[in-house]
Chain A
Amino acid sequence: MKTSESASNFNLLIRRILHTKAAIAGFFILIVLAAMTIYALIAVPLESFSQWNDPGFWIDYPKSAAPSWINSLLPETNLPNHMIFGPSDAKTQNSSFGGIPTNSFLYDIDFGYNSFPTDFIIDYCLRYGDIPPVIQVDVTRPDGESFMLYNSPLPSSAISTDSTSSNLTEYCSRTFSTDESIRDNLQAYTGLFHYSPDLSSPQNMIFSELEGQVVLRGNYLFNITYYLFGAEDKVENTKVILGGKVYGLMGTDDLRRDLSIGIFWGAPVALFVGLTAAISSVIIGMLYGLLAGYKGGRYDEALMRVNDLVISLPTFVFLIILSITIGSSIYLITLFLVIFGWSGIARVARSLALQIKNLQYVEASKLMGERDIRIILRHILPQLLPLTFASIALAVPAAILAEATLSFIGLGDPSIPTWGSILHDANTASAAARGLWWWILPPGIMIAAAGISFALIGSAIESVTNPRGGGAQSKVRFT
């Protein structure tokens, strides 16, 4: 009889909480975050998540590209998309040049943007014998001018230690537009231009009108020719990558990483840290405070002295020193947050225990000989459930912020993307002063949104269950 009554009370409470505007808004944001988490777990390949800090993985992506939707927002800027052309996009041609067999790949690239590409990369993989092949890259522009960009022998196979069972060596490499020999080769064509082109960014010269530094639109023909000296030599892969100024949903950073992957994976990480740290801190703090308040006397005094000390310690300092010396995996960081997070709520719980322990039903159970811990768990704690939930919800933003702060100063988990570490990278690259807004806005908005959702839910619980409650004071803080 009694349990069903309290259950219906509880349901009523939940219903009243869910009817507040704050809770509706809070849960809405939370659902979005949960959706992002599910999307990250299902759709984003796990590989990109674990390779976040491996620059090699991201090499085919554009550097510091803006989100691609700004092109539809500002049609007149028409920034170039990122373009990758593989062997299947090319017209292949086998011929011979003075008796030397050649293998050419012709890429017909339609470039119709208003702005130059950020860079270009020629990517190739060959298998060859004793005499190294020669690679040559030419480009024929829409106005008929033809530039020889690159001509270089590949390293002789003796250098390469990675020899397979056959006597052929596989060699893969990339030639970047910043390559010095490209600059030297282009030097020969500067006379064609009516202005003096900037050779430090060859792509601006290749794609420019002769009259002035404006994009020459039209079809560019990239011709990659391999001179093969051995009968068994074979081109395995060849790619042309034109670095775009826009890419994907959220753009890329200086290290060419797709920011949307970091943002999506940041959601489960932040939710994990926030919820785990908040729930553990509040439960530990609650039990600690209730035990102190209920037992009273010297026991209480001793426990509260420890509590006072933990409250007055500079948590920020310890978080830094602990992550430097013990480690900064996401689990350890969560543990560190719990070590210092429980103290505030313990004080509140103690003062409440002092009131509740004198209530008749508690005294009655004591007289019946129930054990202290049982009284606390069965009779006192249930009374404080709303407070517990409110405190947990209000502690989550603090925990998320603390983890983000730690990541921001460079002490976050180095193996995974977090919103804080994305902002750390943005700060070291002075993204703000360079105007790379897409690198800065999303992670910060995510941190704020995650925090706000829990803060709204927490304040909704608090306002329904305890209208004159703590108000602005959140009882748990981590830094």
Chain B
Amino acid sequence: MTGFLFFIAKTTAYRILVVVITVVITLILLGSAMDKLLTDRIRAEVVEATAQDNIQFKTLSQRQAYVNEQIQLKTKDLGLDEPWYSPKRFVNTLFEVLTLNLGRSNFFTSDSGSSNVSDIMIERVPKTVLLFTTSTVIIVVIGLFLGTYMAEKRGSVLDKSVSFVAVVSNSFATFWVGMLMILLFSFTFDIFPARSTPLTSPGDPFYLLDLLYHMMLPLITLVLLSFTVWSFVVRYFVSRVLDEDYIQAKRVMGIPKRKILYSHALKNAAPPVLTGIVTALIASISGSFIVEAVFDWPGVGKLLYDAIIVMDIPLILGSTYVFTLIYVMTMLIADLLYAYFDPRVKVSS
């Protein structure tokens, strides 16, 4: 048991390290852009404050000198006189990003009217997580059952057609399929709304229902695109296990087919299935982010899309950080599941 705990601690530490490294590289790349943004903002603030304070100046140059002095004072106050790569400032910024203290957005506000990036994020994250986890759970369930069934019925029409669709749909762009869904279900048949932003306010008693109704189209898109690929992965590994001698032996012993399939074969195929599924899952995180932009689902992905159009650096940083967290969390959960299903991991560590 302690071995397993140690494994958990080690894996978690490694994944946290990945987050830190990602943010460090991001900050190195964005450093000068963010510096420029901060000094621009200080300049704007000072100019505005000078105008509001109604200080009288004799000449324009006097006013300019005053403004410059104020800017310098403020820059020093905030520690911006050092370049962004000075160790003190860099560590400071790193810590701020890691704690989601990302300053203010230039263009966007949260529903409550705050332009703090963290406030905006806190509103958006649950919706992204809701869409992503719901679709993942549905895909996993369909994938496991359909994949195992296909492994049993190898060479059947169902097996062949799902495998074919899997190869084909792997090349489909998620956003394109999303647009097709809108074309089909919103424009041609007016079943689901084209914009997935619910119209009721969050306080409304029917808000949750409305939200789920608006989530249907992005959800269907994600499930449709992935379930065949996942079934195909499950089928591949389960069918390899089914060929093993011990499974054949169980058949001879007269253990019911269904029990062999779902408890013996599936369980023994679990570690490679997990690896395969995680590869597919990780590829689908970006897809789920982008699908938000197609459907106007009010999550972080849609925010990132909008932030890129107007180049709102704090929001881009915030959204990509949230993406990194979701990404790393997914990998961590996969690691732990892998360890659970593969006893060797527990023993060796």
Residues of A within 8 A of B (CB): 309, 312-314, 316-318, 320-322, 324-326, 397, 401, 404-405, 408-411, 420, 423, 426-428, 430-435, 437, 440-441, 443-444, 447-452, 455-456, 459, 468, 471-474, 477, 479
Contacts and interface: CB of A to CB of B under 8 A. Distances in A.
Nearest to A443: B176
A332 B328 CA distance: 26
Contacts of A408: 173, 175, 290, 293
28 contacts: A313-B21, A314-B22, A316-B327, A320-B308, A320-B316, A321-B30, A321-B320, A324-B311, A325-B29, A409-B293, A410-B305, A420-B173, A423-B176, A427-B293, A427-B294, A432-B294, A440-B183, A444-B176, A444-B179, A447-B171, A447-B176, A448-B173, A449-B171, A451-B172, A471-B236, A472-B233, A473-B276, A474-B170
A479 B283 contact: yes
Given A447-B176, A456-B167, A472 B229 contact: yes
A402 to B, nearest CB: 9
Interface of B: 14-15, 18, 21-22, 25-26, 29-30, 33, 166-168, 170-177, 179-180, 182-183, 186-188, 194-195, 229, 232-233, 236, 240, 276, 279, 282-283, 285-286, 289-290, 293-294, 304-305, 308-309, 311, 316, 320, 323-324, 327-328, 331
A459 B276 contact: no
A452 B324 contact: no
A431 B175 CA distance: 13
A463 to B, nearest CB: 11
B218 to A, nearest CB: 13
A432 B308 contact: no
Given A325-B30, A409-B305, A443-B176, A318 B25 contact: yes
Contacts of A431: 179
B108 to A, nearest CB: 16
Nearest to A468: B240
A450 B194 CA distance: 28
A324 B309 CA distance: 11
Contacts, number: 158
Nearest to B181: A432
A451 B168 CA distance: 8
B235 to A, nearest CB: 8
Given A309-B18, A473-B276, A427 B233 contact: no
A450 B290 CA distance: 21
Given A312-B331, A472-B233, A473-B233, A326 B29 contact: yes
A455 B29 contact: no
A316 B320 CA distance: 9
A167 B286 CA distance: 62
Given A309-B18, A316-B286, A401 B279 contact: no
Given A316-B289, A316-B323, A427-B293, 13 more contacts: A314-B323, A317-B320, A318-B22, A320-B320, A322-B29, A408-B173, A432-B180, A433-B182, A433-B186, A434-B187, A440-B176, A440-B183, A447-B171
B30 A397 contact: no
A324 B316 contact: yes
A344 to B, nearest CB: 9
B167 A410 contact: no
A421 to B, nearest CB: 12
A468 B243 CA distance: 12
- Top 6 A-B residue pairs of the complex, sorted by shortest distance between their CB atoms: A451-B171, A444-B176, A432-B182, A433-B194, A316-B286, A432-B179
B286 A479 contact: yes
Nearest to A478: B283
Q: Which of B22, B26, B186, B286 has the most CB of A within 10 A?
A: B286
Contact of B309 (A318, A410, A472, A477): A410
Contacts of A434: 187
A350 B109 CA distance: 49
A477 B279 contact: yes
B170 A432 contact: no
A150 B327 CA distance: 60
A234 B304 CA distance: 54
B53 to A, nearest CB: 37
A397 B170 contact: yes
A436 to B, nearest CB: 9
A452 B171 contact: yes
Contacts of B14: 312
A432 B187 contact: yes
Given A423-B176, A437-B183, A452 B188 contact: no
Contact of B283 (A321, A448, A477): A477
Contact of A455 (B170, B182, B186, B328): B170
Contacts of A430: 194
B277 to A, nearest CB: 10
Nearest to A437: B183
A321 B182 CA distance: 30
Contacts of B173: 401, 404-405, 408, 420, 423, 444, 447-448
A393 to B, nearest CB: 12
Q: Which of A326, A440, A449 has the most CB of B within 10 A?
A: A440
A448 B172 contact: yes
Nearest to A459: B167
A84 to B, nearest CB: 30
Contacts of B311: 324
B125 to A, nearest CB: 16
A163 B136 CA distance: 67
Q: Which of B177, B182, B309, B316 has the most CB of A within 10 A?
A: B182
Nearest to B236: A471
A361 B171 CA distance: 41
B187 A410 contact: no
B19 to A, nearest CB: 9
A27 to B, nearest CB: 16
